[in-house]
Chains A and B, each alone.
Chain A
Amino acid sequence: MGKRRVPRKKIKDMTARDREVVAALENMADDIVKAVGNGEDPRFQIPVRALSNVFFNTNRRIIEMGDAKIDRKFFNLSMAKKFMQTILIASMCKKELLETGKTTSIRDMYYMIKHSIGKTRENTVDDQSESDPIIEDIEVTLETLREELHLFASNRGSMVGPVILEDGGDTINLTKMGTGGWSVPSIVEPDTVKFKESKAQFILLVEKDAVWRRLNEDKFWKKHKCILITGQGQPPRGVRRMLYRMRNELRTPGGGKLPVYVFVDNDPWGYYIYSVIKQGSINLAYESMRMAIPDARFLGLSAFDLEKYDLGPDVQIKLNKQDVARTKQILNYDWFKSKQWQKELKKMLKNGVKLELEALSSKGISFVTEEYLPDKIKAGKGKGWLV
């Protein structure tokens, strides 16, 4: 590190936001110097990112973060290492990224700060799973976004549909993306991704990559004029932010906002994915307001589909103990307190089984594209989908 000379940006050359972030990072360092000057144990006050510190804002219908903070003290053996890692990452963000105008992945950041301490075999960090939460800590502490720290996560997620956009200066026609689709970058802020044109009527988020591929192959998006997007499991921030922007910035030919349909497995994890799209996540509650889509529509699989589509025992998977416990937990979320949702969740518990999206293939390979999805969307609120 620091062996090769990298031209540095002067403060005046930075964007306004970069300047703010640099000031916030400098504040962190100043706080340490000040505390030590007073003979005090230096500490960071980090907002708590846990269920205990989130609440459901019933007006805005999103999860917001509370005010609870935790002291991360240096002179506490269980926190000392994290403290050191925090200031280490902060210093790298400032010196190696903001000052050079470069952006890097969180994996790269892990390697940037990883080195052995002194002459010991102990490392500053041993695994990326140690540095990633620290980055999130810095985000919440400084009230910055990851991209404002010039960091991004690895890309995950694909998208196709009747949309033309600009990505890093290149114009991309999302109707001509072949079988793989456009890889959704982790940073999709307006200065990177700009919308040019859209003929879409709605957006369909699919949990499973395999199902997304089926829909793409069947050109479902063409027939139904929709944007087809997958996050390959729990959608990463890029996909969620993309959904939010599309929801709020694109308009149907009729001038309305694009409805967002969520198509997930019928299991607690699927419900939670929907919950995150809709209200935001507990871990990243501070970003809910720029990611949550409170009127996202839960299309399926619904627990009621089991009987409705007569899905046989071959495709049913028994709920295990954790599934049941997790579902009971979800039953208690404020945002699932409506009658319909309680019915839905309790129905799954009553079924005692979970269903994967692929279960629909038992009805024929294109059953999902030709019957299930069109029927459900057509059936409308309550019958076809839930909010």
Chain B
Amino acid sequence: MNHAQPVNRAVKGRSAMARKRITAEEMARKQKAISISEFFSKNRHLLGFDNPTKAVLTTVKEAMDNALDACEEAGVLPDITVTIRENGKAVTRADLNVKRGKKGAAKPKSSNGPAHYLVIVEDNGPGIVKKQVKSIFGKLLYGSKFHRLRQSRGQQGIGISAAGMYGVMTTGRPMKISTKTGKRKPTYYCELKLDTKTNEPVIISECELPRVSGDEPGDPAKRDILSDHGTRVTIELLGDYRKGRTGVDEYIRQTAISNPHAKITFNAPDASFVYARVVDELPPEPKEIKPHPYGIELGQLGTMLAATSEGTLSQFLRSEFSQVSATIANQIVVEANKNIAGKDITTRSRPSLIAKSQDKLRALFKAIQTVRIRRPRVDVLVPIGSDAIIAGLKKEIRADFYTAVTRPPTVYRGNPFLVEVGIAFGGDLSKPDPNAVDLNSIDDADDLSHDVGDDRSGPARILRYANRVPLQYKQSDCAITKVITQTNWRNYGLSQKRGQLPYGPMEIMVHIASVWVPFTSESKEAVADYDAIHKELKRCIGECARKLGTYVRKRAAQQREAQRRKIFELYIEEVVQAVKRIKGDDFDPDPLRDGLVAIALQKTGADIQEDGETEPEPTGPNPPSDGLDAVAASDEDDEADEAGGVEADIEIGVQPDDAEPATLFDGLEDKTSRQPARASGGKRSSRRRKRAAG
């Protein structure tokens, strides 16, 4: 939280000193603390307000995060309405192009250019008591979330007030809040601004809204809340509404996937969408835990020691941290004394005195790192769950195959976290090339083998989530992306260029849940690459990919079967005609043709049997690189000693046949060696070799 510390301008002063001598007094006059608000207003990119497009997204995101968190905390199934609309007409680029008669005029634009936008997010959460409204929406770093360790969407409580501040800065319009805490309570309405100098909210106007019993025209921000309780935030800002991978529409779609228990209505400037609720159960409430000693930083420890109300060091350690017993506290003190000459730290030392001594603080900090402390409780986390992931994916993506894996929770730097992965494959994701069997390409048997995940589908799409919140920017900086690109997908029947995303008609969803998700920056867009997280991601993605690989191979086998059948059908006609030529014109070819077709169906309709969850041999479409192979192999070893995660598989479009396996087609194996070999491939091809030799 160093960003949140007051920043002084000493650095600037010093650089000026090099050229012109300035007295210390002069400098002191210039050196003044700036408020957090002022700091952020000058560094708004840190919070995701770098440009008008992103400003709209960040505003929606912060408001939705709050809304979902509030609903879940209150035990209400979320019902959220997001409305975005242009407020006042701005001159658009398209207009300009028309006027200038430019070529690009006819091109449909995904954006109309920056304009004043209204972002309205309404939830059916518990509402906010009147006196808190001011602080929650008007003060940076205020909220219920920063002071505790708990898995929740927002982490620092910076977001919504920053969005409001951005709105005030760009349009001069205040933030408008309507909130209602109960059926019989009136809707409280206020307009407020944040004073960036003092970090204090200023209420411009407030009132109770008259009760109405239905939609009526007028200021959408100033309407009565119709649900029994809930909150509506309205922010007017200079923004730009764009669709696409980093757009609001995609954010809401991805949120709908990771929150299948929420109903989301999205009134975009151009259309309205309703994302239905498919899970009628609220996820269990994540539990709050105290920080684990291993996760603490030196400065933080000092602050805590100074601020604590506990009278002794032992009490401090036991009450402010998790997993510290009296014994552990004693051990820490013993260790700490080893690190300090005076050896005068005792369990009864006053925490505030230790905070004042840098030596003691360091000694204590070092001791905490060396003493063995049980890892924190990990049951405080709430995964989406593999079933809900699949439900979410199915709801928004029409694919042929879905799979999901939820790993058991584990710990990085004292913080519990868990990883979940879901994959949707095929179906609408592989829209190009509707002709599955291209007979024109069957010139030789080599062409019978098509890669299922072949290049025409483009790279896989990644849906990254942290505590159910989609991460849309900085994909390449994210640990999730790194692990996906480092995974050797060729082992699973997909094509992949080294160090790049796999190719194939699929979306890979990765969710990291933690009491404290480590982001690479305050804008919370990429997960930092901690070893423990990296390892869990690797395992989880690997498990999911293996399931996908099994399906891909099965599907490839079925496609090959279909092609074989097609070939037989073609040859059958030739054979039938030849027999007729021999037998003469009186020969009725139909029974022969039907008989041959029936046999062909029986022989080729058989589903190739998969020998369970067998590992693919490293014979992907491309020769796999040794390095990546080694990684995959060691992953396997780990897998053996670890308890597997919770898994779920759903397949659509694969109907296993009861017919016997098509062992007769062993001749094909050699010719299709571009395909990943099946577990029994070795046996088959050796048989083939034997025959060829004979």
Show the binding face of A for B, using Cβ within 8 Å. Answer: 25-26, 28-30, 32-33, 36-37, 39-42, 52, 73-81, 83-84, 87-88, 90-92, 94-95, 117-122, 124
- CB proximity of B577 to chain A, nearest CB, Å: 8
Known: A80-B567, A120-B570. A87 touches B578 (CB 8 A): yes
A91 adjacent to B581 (CB under 8 Å): yes
> Among the listed B439, B595, B596, B603, which residue makes an inter-chain contact with A122, where contact means beta carbons less than 8 Å apart?
B439
Q: Which residue of A lies closest to B688 (CB)?
A: A78
The residue on B at minimum CB distance from A93 is B582
> 3 tightest CB-CB pairs across the interface, nearest first?
A78-B667, A91-B581, A36-B595
Q: List 19 A-B contacts (CB under 8 A).
A: A32-B575, A33-B579, A36-B599, A39-B595, A39-B598, A41-B603, A42-B575, A74-B568, A75-B599, A75-B600, A75-B603, A77-B564, A77-B667, A78-B445, A84-B578, A87-B574, A91-B578, A92-B581, A122-B570
CB pair A75–B664 under 8 Å, yes or no, is yes
Answer yes or no: B327 CB below 8 A from chain A CBs: no
Residues of A within 8 A of B583 (CB): 26, 29-30, 33
| Count of A-B residue pairs with CB < 8 Å | 106
Question: In the complex, are the beta carbons of B442 and A76 less than 8 A apart?
Answer: no
Which chain B positions have C-beta within 8 A of A124?
574
Collect the chain B residues with CB atoms within 8 Å of residue A32's CB.
575, 579, 592
| Contacting pair B575 A74 (CB below 8 A) | yes
Q: State A324–B86 Cα separation when bound (angstroms).
A: 88
CB distance from B578 to the nearest CB of A (A): 4
A25 to B582, CA, bound (A): 7
Task: Tell me the residues in window 567-590 of chain B with beta carbons closer than 8 Å to chain A beta carbons.
Answer: 567-568, 570-571, 573-575, 577-579, 581-583
- A121 close to B440 (CB less than 8 A): yes
A91 to B579, CA, bound (A): 7
Query: Are A29 and B567 CB-contacts (below 8 A) given A75-B599, A77-B668, A79-B667?
Result: no
SS class, residues of chain A in contact with chain B: helix
User: Assuming A77-B667, A79-B667, A81-B571, is B440 touching A36 (CB within 8 A)?
Assistant: no
The minimal Cβ–Cβ distance linking A95 to chain B, given in whole angstroms, is 5
| B530 in the interface (beta carbon within 8 A) | no
Q: Find the B residue at minimum CB distance from A68.
A: B694
Interface residues on B, range: 20 to 34
Contact status A120-B439, CB under 8 Å? yes
**Interface 0/1 of B447-475, CB less than 8 Å to A:** 01000000000000000000000000000
Q: Does B638 lie at the interface of the complex (its beta carbon under 8 Å from any beta carbon of A)?
A: no
A90 to B574, CA, bound (A): 12
CB neighbours of B579 from chain A (8 A)? 29, 32-33, 87, 91
B642 touches A (CB below 8 Å): no
A102 to chain B, nearest CB (A): 15
A97 to chain B, nearest CB (A): 12
Q: How far is the CA of A78 from the CA of B665 in the complex (A)?
A: 8
Bound together, the chains give a CA A259 to CA B484 distance in angstroms of: 81
Contact with A along B645-682 (1 / 0, CB 8 A): 00000000000000000001101100100000000000
Q: How far is the CA of A122 from the CA of B592 in the complex (A)?
A: 23
- Which one of B577, B592, B667 lies within 8 Å of A76 (CB-CB)? B667
Given pairs A29-B583, A77-B567, 12 additional interface contacts (CB within 8 A): A30-B583, A33-B579, A40-B599, A41-B599, A75-B599, A77-B667, A78-B667, A84-B578, A87-B574, A88-B578, A117-B571, A120-B570
With CB as the reference atom, state the residue of chain A lying closest to B600. A75
Interfacial residues of chain B within 591-621, with CB under 8 A of chain A in the complex: 591-592, 595-596, 598-600, 603
Please name all residues of chain B whose beta carbon is closer than 8 Å to the beta carbon of A117 when the two chains form the complex.
Answer: 570-571, 573-574
Q: Determine the chain A residues whose CB is within 8 A of the CB of B567 once the complex forms.
A: 77, 80
| CB-based contact A77/B665 at 8 Å | yes
A36–B592 CB distance below 8 A = yes
